[in-house]
Amino acid sequence: MSKESAIGVFDSGLGGLCAVRALAELLPHENIIYFGDTGRVPYGSKSREIIRKYTAQDASFLLSHGVKAILAACGTVSSNALECIEALTSNPVFGVVEDAAREAYDASHSKRIGVIGTQATVNSGIFKRKIEERDPQAVVLQSACPLFVPLVEYGFTAEGDEITRLACERYLAHFRGEVDTLILGCTHFPILEKAIASALPGVALINPASAAARAMAKTLGKKNLLSERAEKGEIRYFVSDEPARFAAEGKIFLGKDFEIKAEKIEIDKF
């Protein structure tokens, strides 16, 4: 395992690009390989068996590129299948649950914390368990928000978008006055952060992708695995469906400063 090996990141679609952006900002000299399983998105509505199968294939693809660490930038995978990656490699493996739960607990004054995510993430109860491990008296309210992912991926992200505003009002109303902190338990959800904040004024929002990126940077530093190159790292993108659409929609997550050129792979071969 080389210091100059890439960091591997994957998600079921585009949401993991939030983690890529955070890593690129924190660790600008690192190479990053991203795989978006755009041909099989979403994972959140799949059975646990299928999620675990897809996870193993996604991780195997990244490991075929010799990555030195893997971030499963997907709340569904982190909630249901992280051990499937750990079974394939001794390299550091990260999800988007542990550190987000810690940051949410630390940020909350009332210890009343909300969690939103895909149906699979909410069903797993993983954020609730992680917070209650820290404090059995903490109150954790959860809700699935299945429309948020397609809203992001179909571009309903402009500030003030009426469809997104109504979805936020519908999904988040029961959190109002009940929690002071909310975990955005899917990597797509931070793209809707302004709309979510408008629906829940005064509530602290926790971005799991950013929390995971900070944890990864800290761990790689402790293990002496950070790149020593002086130049900016390269980001390579791979997908399981149409690369052109991924490149166009990826700008929603990464911003205009990132150049996206994706390659299509046959993920079922892994």
Chain segment 16-65, per-residue pLDDT in tens = 999 999 999 999 999 999 999 999 988 888 999 999 999 999 999 999 99
- The residues carrying an active-site annotation are 74, 186
The whole-number pLDDT of residue 270 equals 94
Task: Kindly state the tokens that stand for 13.
Answer: 């679609």
CA contacts within 13 A on the Cβ side of 96: 34
Alpha helix positions (H), the chain: 17-26, 48-63, 75-80, 82-86, 98-107, 119-124, 126-134, 148-153, 162-172, 193-199, 208-222, 243-254
Confidence of residue 1 (pLDDT cuts 50, 70, 90): low
Confidence of residue 153 (pLDDT cuts 50, 70, 90): confident
Instruction: Tell me the three-class secondary structure of 117-137, residue by residue.
Output: ECHHHHHHCHHHHHHHHHCCC
The residue with greater pLDDT, 230 or 97, is 97
**pTM (whole model) above 0.85:** yes
Q: Catalogue all structural domains in the chain, each as residue range(s) with its CATH number.
A: 7-95+210-269 (3.40.50.1860), 98-208 (3.40.50.1860)
Section 62-81 average pLDDT: 94
Section 225-253 average pLDDT: 91
